[in-house]
Amino acid sequence: MTSRAKFDAFLTEKAEDAGVEVKDRTQVTGIAAHPSGCEVITQNGSLQARMVIGADGMGGPTARTSHLYESWNPTQVAYAIESEVPVGEDSVRNFIGEEEHFDIYFGVSPAGYGWVFPKNDHLTVGVGCRLSELKDAQGLFHSFLKVVPELEGHEIPSPEAHLIPLGGAARVPLATERLLLAGDSAGFAEPLLGEGIYFAILSGQVAAGVTEQACRKDRFDRKSLRTYAQQCQSKFGTDFDSAFRLASASYLETYDMDRVGRIFFSDKRFHACMIGLMDGTVRYRDLQTKLLWPYLKYRLEKLRSSLPSGAHILKADLAYPKT
């Protein structure tokens, strides 16, 4: 677990150490590809480049102004709303316990889940929902706060909201002449848990390699850059498709958390797989073999009985295995 502000600052420092010129507070207003290069138009003037990698998140100017896509379908997006709650280091240590766990709550959102992630001296508390199913974001958030006992007596700062693409459902163009998209801008967040940092870094590495080859060969046309999408699909795109099917079968489309909880979350192997999915050490193609039996058990039981009535809130304490 890390605070994004600190992590982003760390990455920026590393980039500067490698020779990158950082132009902060420089809003991009347009991008135009020409036969001789790419022009990035900003409020402080224009920049010239042989290639542009857009890593500016959903709704960023790279895709929009280059006309790769204009907007997102609500079925392809999750809405996340969260707050950083200062509780102090002692409270954080009491929360994580000896097993050093974090909490994920299923059943608190009609098409999503809630989370409590421990940081050094605060808890990141939030809830997400598929955008097409969202009716009242503030109401959803405050309802979730009531079921988290660790928040009792603490003041909750105003939450912040952001959109997360659902990989496997988010189908957007990834490349055009002299331009590639990486990270959330390309729809690269895994759809079961919404983890995007690992795949932002991985797609950035792939984009860097493809860009290096394009510059070496002096080939920047769309056909030559097609290899970027092919490599991303090979490395994690197939896993996204599997993950989206799994998410749709469990909580994105249905409300069957009582059965999911009894069969999956009672299995410590599933806990280990969830952790692995978040830190990139387990792929969804591996998950299919690791959890084949509980999945078959779930499907068979679902066929034999009707869905449970009423609302069920499931809290999963996930902990990294001791090494």
The domain that holds 132 is classified in CATH as 3.30.9.10
pLDDT digits (tens, 9 = 90+) for 90-133: 999 999 998 888 898 888 887 888 999 999 999 999 999 989 88
What's the mean pLDDT when you consider all of the chain?
86
Sign of CA dihedral 16, 218, 62, 76: negative
- The model's confidence at residue 81, banded by pLDDT at 50, 70 and 90, is very high
Residue 197 is assigned to a structural domain of this protein: yes
pLDDT value at residue 102: 87
- Do the bridges between strand 113-118 and strand 122-130 make them parallel or antiparallel, or are there none, so unpaired? antiparallel
Instruction: Give the count of domains, the chain.
Output: 3
Residue 30 has pLDDT above 80, yes or no: yes
Q: Which of 165, 194, 218 is the last residue of a domain?
A: 165
Q: Which of 165, 180, 204 is the last residue of a domain?
A: 165
| Beta carbons of 124 and 95 less than 8 angstroms apart | no
Q: Report the b/e string of 240-273 with b at 16+ CB within 10 A.
A: bbbbbebbbbbbbeebbbbbbbebbbeeeebbbb
pLDDT digits (tens, 9 = 90+) for 120-179: 999 999 999 989 889 999 999 999 999 999 999 999 999 999 999 988 888 889 999 999
Residue tagged 């991985």 (tokens): 202
48-52, 214-218, 254-258: range with lowest mean pLDDT = 254-258
- HEC string for 167-200: CCCCCCCCEECCEEECHHHHCCCCCCCCCCHHHH
Say whether both 296 and 285 belong to one domain. yes
Residue 291 has pLDDT above 80, yes or no: no
- The model's confidence at residue 211, banded by pLDDT at 50, 70 and 90, is very high
Say whether both 154 and 96 belong to one domain. yes
Residue 127 is assigned to a structural domain of this protein: yes
Say whether both 38 and 178 belong to one domain. yes
Say whether both 160 and 185 belong to one domain. no
DSSP state of 306: P
For residue 212, count CB atoms less than 10 angstroms from its CB and return exposed for 0-12, middle for 13-18, buried for 19 or more.
exposed
> Residue 67: left (phi > 0), alpha (psi -120 to 50), or beta?
left
- Mean of the pLDDT values across residues 264-280? 76
Residue 91 is assigned to a structural domain of this protein: yes
Say whether both 185 and 66 belong to one domain. yes
Say whether both 205 and 222 belong to one domain. yes
Q: Which of 147, 165, 183 is the last residue of a domain?
A: 165
Residue 87 is assigned to a structural domain of this protein: yes
Say whether both 89 and 154 belong to one domain. yes
Identify the domain containing residue 201 by its residue range: 4-72+170-238
Residue 316 is assigned to a structural domain of this protein: no
pLDDT value at residue 295: 75
Say whether both 158 and 301 belong to one domain. no
CATH number at residue 29: 3.50.50.60
Say whether both 261 and 113 belong to one domain. no
